[in-house]
Copies of this chain bind each other. A is one copy, B any other.
Amino acid sequence: MNKLLVTVDIVLFTLLERRLQVLLIKRLAPPFVGSYALPGGFVLEDESLDAAAQRELHEETGVDASNGDVYLEQLYTFGEPGRDPRGRVVTVAYYALVSNSQILKAGTDASDASWFAVDELPQLAFDHTQIIEYAHRRIRNKLDYTSVGFELLPEKFTLTELQVVHEAILGEKLDKRNFRRKILQQGIVEATKELQKAGRKPAQLYRFSS
C-alpha cells in the first residue's frame, strides 16, 4: 500500500529539415540543471494517464492534443529505482507526432524548448536518452503495418513529402516509384483537387483517407 510518484513524459516528434526531430526542454531546476529533458510532469489525483500526457504536452510545448489532430500514444513505463535522484519516480512515457504546421500554431512561448534531430541528441537528464530510443524504435516498427506517417504531415501533402517522412523515420532512402505504387495501392490516400504550387513543378496534393 505504498504510494509512489508517478509522472508522464512525452517524446514529441516532428519533421524539420527532412529529419525526424524531438522537442527537448532545458532544465532550470535541479537535478540536472542545464541539461535537456523530455517535457513531462506529475500525474494528478483525478486525471487519466492520457489526460495527464495531453495536459503536460500543452503546458510545456503549447501543442494542443485535445482535438484529434495530434497522435498521442502510450509507449512504456519506466520504473527503475534510482532513475531519478530525488527518489522513487515511476514514469509513464508517451510519444506524440505533430506536423510542422501545428508547431507553428503552438508558438514558441515555451521558451526553453528546442528541437533536436533524433540522431544528434545532446546529453539528456535521467534515462531520457533511452526513452527516446525506445520511441524511435516504436514508430519505425509501426511504419511497417500502419500509417503513422501522416501524423507528421499537414492535412494535405504531396507523395514526395510523405516519402520524406518515411525516409526520415526509417533512416534510409526509398525508391520513388516503388514507394508511390505501394502507398497508392494501399488506398490510404486520396487525391485532392489541388496542386501544390510552391515548388518547381506543381505537385498533386493528397489527403489521408480513413
Contact = CB atoms under 8 A, between A and B. Distances in A.
Interface in A69-102: 74, 76-77, 79-81, 88, 90, 92
A90 B43 contact: yes
Given A47-B81, A49-B77, A74-B77, A3 B5 contact: yes
Interface centre among A2, A43, A45 (most CB of B within 10 A): A2
A48 interface: yes
B3 A48 contact: no
A54 to B, nearest CB: 13
Contact of A77 (B44, B77, B88): B77
Contacts of A92: 77, 79, 90
A90 B42 contact: no
Interface of A: 1-6, 42-49, 74, 76-77, 79-81, 88, 90, 92
Nearest to A52: B79
Contacts of A42: 1-2
A9 to B, nearest CB: 13
A79 B43 contact: yes
